[in-house]
Amino acid sequence: MSIAVKQTSDITRPLVALRDVHRVFKTGNTEVRALDGVDMSIFPGQLVVIKGRSGSGKTTALNMMGGLDQPTRGQVLFKGEDISTFNERMLTRWRRKEVGFVFQSFGLLPYLTAYENVELPLKIVGRSLGERRARTEECLELVGLGPRAQHRILELSGGEQQRVAIARALTISPSLILADEPTGELDFATSMKVMELFRSLVDEHGVTICVVSHNPAVEEFGDKVYEMADGRVLEGE
């Protein structure tokens, strides 16, 4: 099965890039430098892993890429355009078109079925019933959950729930999928299956994925690995 994703014509240019990005949070008279001059690049068709301990800044970096936070200073470039200059309305429209999110806690509606959860983003953007049905079924089949489509989320295992979340992220044919600790609530064997799925989406379907994780086993799946500590990039392998 081939699944459509948005492609960029120039694979030599980063799909998303952070350029000298700083993020400072103020609490009273105290400043916390969540990001301190971060540079990162993710190219089309890559699986990039950002690793680091809790508080290293890796989730803040991911939030910048997804327009969920804005830098105090620096640029966040997506296909060459600085999204850090977008207002909230522009960011919302951009996210609905370009970015799929996968979270540690899955972010699913527990009393809806797998099918209904995956279909929801398509309802939000106003796709027709026929389009929604075809795309939802396609994405559930891709992650191996076609037979489980009508099961409610509460009836699925943790690994199955995360696969539903991945299918939901794929429905809008995003240019980029951002996954924040996607294996954080899963056992080792299930975590590896989720990462194998990510790897196959990149290799076989051209999806671009950035994964944040503190799990050392996850980095083995990455085309590129950034390590962060104290808001800075230590290395990019």
- The full set of domain ranges for the chain reads 16-109+174-236
Distances (CA, A) of 96 to 11, 101, 125, 180: 22, 10, 7, 18
How many other C-beta atoms are found inside a 10 Å radius of the C-beta of residue 151? 15
pLDDT grade for 104, boundaries at 50, 70 and 90: confident
Each residue's pLDDT tens digit, 159-204: 999 999 999 999 989 999 999 999 888 899 989 999 999 999 999 9
- Report the pLDDT averaged over residues 95-107: 88
The SS3 assignment for 212 reads strand
> Quick one: pLDDT at residue 237?
46
Q: Which of 167, 141, 145 is closest to 155 using CA atoms?
A: 145
> Quick one: pLDDT at residue 11?
66
> Quick one: pLDDT at residue 3?
58
pLDDT grade for 56, boundaries at 50, 70 and 90: very high
Q: What is the separation, in whole angstroms, between the first and last Cα of the chain?
A: 32
Residue 117: its H or E element = helix 114-124
> Quick one: pLDDT at residue 44?
96
> Quick one: pLDDT at residue 42?
97
- The amino acid that residue 18 corresponds to is L
**Does 8 score more than 70 pLDDT?**
no
Q: Which of 37, 13, 10, 35 is closest to 24 using CA atoms?
A: 35
Contact (CB, 8 A) for 123 and 136: no
The number of residues in the chain equals 237
pTM for the predicted model, two decimal places = 0.89
The CATH code of domain 16-109+174-236 reads: 3.40.50.300
> Quick one: pLDDT at residue 200?
92
